[in-house]
Amino acid sequence: MNDFAPASPPGIEHDDHLLAAWAAEVAGNLLVEVRGQGLEGKELKDAGDRAAHELLMELLAQHRPGDAVLSEEGKDDKRRLDADRVWIVDPLDGTREFSEPPREDWAVHVALWTRAAGDLAAGAVAQPGLATTFHTGAPPVVPDSTAARPRIAVSRTRPPAFVEALAAEIGADLVPMGSAGAKVISVVRDVTDAYVHAGGQYEWDSAAPVAVARAAGLHTSRIDGSPLVYNQDDVLLPDLVVCRPELAEPILAFIREHGTD
């Protein structure tokens, strides 16, 4: 059990958007505490992953006892495949960057998939480094782009090789950054204009950020243009494009034409 027992705000019993936002935020606050405890490296990563996972499991069990949960840090209980409601959580996305203070590119992801929607129905991305939680209950408004050239967010440590050629083709600049959530949120915030990833990722890495991005009116898809589908038996969801709507066609056209090799 965590000692961390935040008071729950009104509304969360009936509003999944608010529950997602609150749960992500309190897990983010806990991670800030963990980061201040003097741990380093693997110890800090493991402590963060574990603390945020346990807190989210407790909060979801307490406030949505009938729902299934898929967490990066938990065992995959396949009963979720028959469930009507499944929370898809990444307790600490950007674990590497979390362990490198004062980096801000790490996040907590809480999303809800429902059978009724056949899709994501709510989502929240807490980015404690920005002291902000982005969520579908109050979808962020994407500002007009301030960039003369499009900026493409890519993984700091595993950027897909083809993205350099893509950037050259569409006259874009690459912006390396950790955390899938932070990269999607960078598009929402007009820090970048697109996030392109390939080569490996799981449902929890993108579910909550994609829910927020869609609510904000951004394009979200696989790199072949097909929809991102969640709560699958195999949770591998290795690639995605999140971008301003006007960039979707040039990016997808480049990938259609040149592939990813």
Ligand X SMILES: Nc1ncnc2c1ncn2[C@@H]1O[C@H](COP(=O)(O)O)[C@@H](OP(=O)(O)O)[C@H]1O
Ranges within 167-206 binding ligand X (CB under 6 A): 178-180, 199-201, 205
CB of 213 to ligand X, least distance (A): 15
Rg of the chain in Å (alpha carbons): 18
Comparison of 93 and 239: residue with beta carbon closer to Mg ion: 93
Decide if residue 155 touches ligand X (CB under 6 A).
yes
Cα dihedral across residues 184, 186, 188, 190: positive or negative: negative
- Residue ranges of the alpha helices (H) in the chain? 16-35, 41-63, 95-98, 162-170, 180-188, 203-215, 245-258
Do 244 and 218 form a contact (C-beta atoms < 8 A)?
yes
Site map (CB under 6 A) of ligand X, residues 9-48, x = contact: ----------------------------------------
Segment interacting with Mg ion (CB under 5 A) among 53-61, 167-175, 199-207, 210-218: 199-207
Pick from 16, 25, 67, 90: which binds Mg ion (CB under 5 A)? 90
Is it true that the peptide bond before 250 is cis, omega within 30 degrees of 0? no
Single-letter amino acid code for the residue at 86 = V
Comparison of 200 and 245: residue with beta carbon closer to ligand X: 200
Query: Rounded to an integer, what distance in angstroms lies between the CA atom of residue 152 and that of residue 98?
Result: 22
Decide if residue 71 touches ligand X (CB under 6 A).
no
Comparison of 180 and 252: residue with beta carbon closer to ligand X: 180
Site map (CB under 6 A) of ligand X, residues 199-238, x = contact: xxx---x---------------------------------
Query: Rounded to an integer, what distance in angstroms lies between the CA atom of residue 199 and that of residue 140?
Result: 29
Closest-by-Cβ residue to ligand X is: 200
- Does residue 30 come out as left (phi exceeding 0), alpha (psi in the -120 to 50 range) or beta? alpha
Decide if residue 49 touches Mg ion (CB under 5 A).
no
Do 65 and 74 form a contact (C-beta atoms < 8 A)?
no
Do 165 and 77 form a contact (C-beta atoms < 8 A)?
no
Binding site for ligand X (CB under 6 A): 72, 90, 93-95, 155-158, 178-180, 199-201, 205
